[in-house]
Amino acid sequence: MLEILLYGAVTSAVYALLAIGFTLVFGVARVLNLAHGSFYALGAYLTFAFGTRLGLPLFAAGPCAVIAVAGFGVVVERVFVRPLRRSPLAVLLITLAVALLVEQGLFLVFGSEVRNVPAFVAANVSIAHVDLGGQITAFSIVILGGLRSIPGTLLAALALGYSETAVAYLTSGSYTELVSLVAILLTLVLRPSGFLGARAAM
């Protein structure tokens, strides 16, 4: 039970970071960015490249990657998204195209092998004899919590994080992806606005 609580907290924290970014983009810019996960992946790969290929320490590689991805995001918004803001469908399609472009670009540059970014903490952290490591789904969490609700996003991240961890420990890790799918379906049927999201005006 303790392992589920601790690993669930770690998983929920990662999900919350991804989903809050998604929520903030929609809440501030009113853009449903389907490339959000690809931006996250681009940041991870750039951190790897800056750290391992350029020899930068991780504490420098991370900020450099953030700045690079932010610059790329500005270009995407001004060149592709801004001219199409009047059409939500066009924005969805262009951000999907950007996502595919980023993913294929990363595949061509880095290949299909797993690349590991050095951890900020080299050794595992042990809490009550439970070892924790040193460090998209985001869309599911945002739907579950509510597109414009940060508290709802955090609540959904906790719910999915602990649910997936419990399913992995009690059954099999291969079933964890079903948790997000079932959560989306139930939310869309029972409460389309999410846990704490505002209902759309008729």
Q: Which residue has the tokens 């750039």?
A: 46
Classify burial at 16, counting beta carbons within 10 Å of its beta carbon; exposed 0-12, middle 13-18, buried 19 or more: buried
Q: Considering the domain boundaries, does residue 195 fall inside one? A: no
66-109: per-residue pLDDT in tens? 999 999 999 999 999 889 888 888 988 999 999 999 999 998 98
Asked whether residue 35 is assigned to any structural domain, the reply reads yes
Residue with tokens 């392992």: 3
Tokens read off for 66 = 């953030």
Q: How many domains does the chain have?
A: 1
Q: What is the pTM of this model?
A: 0.60
pLDDT digits (tens, 9 = 90+) for 20-61: 777 777 767 777 788 888 898 899 899 889 988 888 888 888
Q: What residues make up the domain containing 94?
A: 2-190
Residue 200 lies in a domain: no
Question: Considering the domain boundaries, does residue 199 fall inside one?
Answer: no
User: Does residue 137 lie within any of the structural domains?
Assistant: yes
